[in-house]
Amino acid sequence: MTVITVSRQVGSHGGAISAMLAKEEGYELFNKERFHREAESFRGHFAKEVAALTDESPPGLIDKLFHNHCVYGNIISAMVFDAAAMDHVVIVGRGGQFILEGLKCVLNVRIVAPVEERIRNYAEFKNVEMGVSADIIKEADRERSAFIKYLHNRNIKEQTAYDLTLNTRVVSREKAVHLIQKMAEEVGRHHPVTPDVKTEFKQMAICRRAELMLMMEMGESNAVKVSPCESGKVMLTGYLPSEGEKVSAESIVRSIQGIHKVDNRIVVSQFPVRPWY
């Protein structure tokens, strides 16, 4: 079993290839629609952030000024780790390749095509004029690059972030599915997603949700980080201005489903601090 992330250029058939791979090989598909459904659990306090993240567009200037960067990062990371914990899953977009970077049980795929080819593909698929298609492709490329830069401070074009890059100018969708699956099988043989790895993914998702709850209850500028220790146990580190807030933070985290023990190492400090992560 393998976790696959797919980064794709608009018009490269990356979405279609991901869907074909999931259908033919029995993978769970986490695409835009699935992420949108999963993100509903975050709505309310973080409604605007959820809308921006599910569309893979960076937040506007006003939202950047009034919302902590960590809100965006924790929402998307929680969804990606939850997806990875399912195993045998295809995670499309949202910077999954950077969230799960360095894990040998994850296959990171990039699907590209020449811009002229992508413009033509999009025009045919959406039945729009070539000029309109060109404008849409240009804007989509800009937004996705900005999204990855804002969320992960990375360049979406980084070659070393991907284990396999496919150019659909010469590779058909059927062949692309075949190549990805063959490489996924190889990854699965040598680096399977074990029960322990699944537990780690679940723990990471829980920690990101806990940090979001702290932001919602205590304000987005709180400087508390939640880290996994073992199954059901987390550690709180960082700074808060009073002992009462330290106790409140622990109480909030204990209320998160899946957390049974809390190692509270928050330092009480009157000095103004900001999150370092």
Above 50 in pLDDT, residue 61?
Answer: no
Q: Which residues sit opposite 230 in a β-bridge?
A: 233
User: What is the predicted pLDDT for the residue at 64?
Assistant: 47
**Mean per-residue pLDDT over the chain, rounded:** 85
DSSP secondary structure string for all residues of 96-107: HHHHTTT-TTEE
Which one-letter DSSP state was computed for residue 159?
Answer: G
Q: What domains can be seen in the chain, in order of their start residue? A: 3-193 (3.40.50.300), 196-268 (3.30.1340.30)
Question: What residues pair up with 239 in beta bridges, in sequence order?
Answer: 223, 267
Instruction: Name the token pair of 232.
Output: 């059901």
Calculate mean pLDDT across residues 47-54. 59
On the 0-12 / 13-18 / 19+ scale of CB atoms within 10 A, 195 is exposed
pLDDT band at 74 (very low <50, low <70, confident <90, very high): confident
Please tell me the predicted confidence (pLDDT) of residue 163: 94
DSSP per residue, 214-256? HHHHH-TT-EEEEEEEETTEEEEEEEESSHHHHHHHHHHHHTS
Residue 1 burial class via C-beta count within 10 angstroms: exposed 0-12, middle 13-18, buried 19 and up: middle
pLDDT at 154: 92
**Amino acid at residue number 103:** L
What is the side-by-side strand order in the sheet with 28-30?
28-30, 89-92, 3-8, 106-112, 164-167
Q: Per-residue pLDDT tens for 141-178?
A: 998 898 888 888 899 999 999 999 999 999 999 999 99
Task: Report the C-alpha gap between 277 and 266 in whole angstroms.
Answer: 15
Question: In sequence order, which residues have a C-beta less than 8 Å from that of residue 180 and are 6 or more positions away?
Answer: 4, 17, 21, 107, 109, 164, 166
